[in-house]
A and B are shown apart, each in its own frame.
Chain A
Amino acid sequence: MSRGRLAIALIGLVLLVGGLAWGTAGSYGFGHYHALYGRIVARDSVPDRSATNAVSVTTFDYRGFDTLGEEFILFVSVAGVIVLLRRMRGESGRDESLLAEEDRRASESSRWLGLALVGPLLVLTVYIVAHGQLTPGGGFQGGVILMSAVAFVAVGGESVVLLRLRRASSGVELAESAGAAGFAMIGFGGLVATGTFFENFIAKGTSGLLTGGFIPLANIAVGLEVAGGLLVVISELFDQRFTRERS
């Protein structure tokens, strides 16, 4: 760091960090939150939606439109990664010899280890997504776990799985875009059924998995989108290793 930059940086940091500390210290003390907004949401989410996870109800219902934006931030960053890592003139395709080498390296035992891990992780995913409106977790967490099931396999020496996945990338993208479109359509469903965009148009249920109206559907859509989207990003980055520049 040059001396000029260091001087500017230090003055700026002292002012910024000091200012933030000074400002927050003027707020109420830690643990004394008292605003009505959170209390109303916590109090009403069970009567409103029969769903016991007030965070899920806030995320998908009270503030569902924010989550629509959030899902599309993820969606668009995946599109961005695809565009930014597209193959350019002068770059060769995938190096098949590297691929074959990778295939040899993947031993039989690690293959079985990977498969053995995938099963439990899939079950965990389904559980977490399905109980999103009741207990901690939901589509987002489940989606990442699903993605990491594949990642575990890759870490277990079976990185060739990612390449196979790459070949099936249209399928993964299909899942991803279906999730994003599905989430948007839930919003449109409210518009069609009740006349208000993002209104929860499905009966709230009484107890168990089918509570919260459209929240379980939203969790499934988000799960698909997140798992698909992250898989696309991971496999695009992975594919880069097998792309060579022609000199």
Chain B
Amino acid sequence: MGSFSIFPPRASAGAAEVDALYGFLLFVGIGMTLLIFFFVFVFAIKYRRKSPEDRPKAIHGSIPLEIAWSVIPFLIMLVMFGWGTKLYFQNYSPPTRDTLDIYITGKQWMWKIQYPGGQREINELHVPTGRAVKLTLASEDVIHSFYIPAFRLKHDVVPGSYQTYWFEPTKPGRYHIFCAEYCGTNHSRMIGWVTVMDPVRYQTWLSGGNTSESMAELGERVFEQYGCVTCHVLDQQGRVPSLRNVFGKPVQLDNGQTVLADESYIRESILNPNAKIVKGYHRDIMPVFQGQIGEESLLQLIVYIKSLSAPANEVSK
């Protein structure tokens, strides 16, 4: 062990911001603790019992004091609330464009990681510096939590839905991945490493892997395998909505609502197509795929649908 620190490695811009907030909280917390300890000590010593007959006069309270020590802490806490909320929304709302999307599937007890280029890894995540990386998290069984202390980020990986968060790595190195939500026998072995590399070395690393097909190409195969292609003929509006240029766009539903076509929406529309019907189309045309497609194939399928909307920049290699 090298030098001892109360901070884990700080490898992203967001981590520095969280640490700054933590520093503020520590300052306030230690300050308050010292204040209370000081008064307890001073009162305990100064007003210690001098004779068993002591009968000190009663003091029943002071409204101004009560108001002061309610309102002042509350105002300080408002700062904590505002600052913490801002950072929280920031870390959990990925930028809408130009992110490096990586797909993570948790299962007892490993992390399966897929890159858009088709590379796959187990318990190892490689990311470049200087680029917004967006993780899409899925689980095959129980709830896990994908935790990277160096980025000060985690999110539960909830089966049946996608969760996302994002970060921009700044410092090359190898950092821990932990599963932070108890998931059974080998919970504490459901760990891995995230390797942050500079962009040039990252490109070299990407090309080093033996990948035959990209995620989108794999997804296209799934698309054919499940017979999606028979109805969803590309570039053709028929009984079913076209899939081109859907991803990332708002979609009008038949109940008047508008939703954003993100990963969660596509997922729901595949597994449970009647949940949200696009305006102008009929329900009950598409079969239900709940329980039919594995999480990894589903992710590939979604990347394929994504690739139908993204102009070139999404497909690396």
A binds B: no
Interface residues of A (CB under 8 A from B): none
Interface residues of B (CB under 8 A from A): none
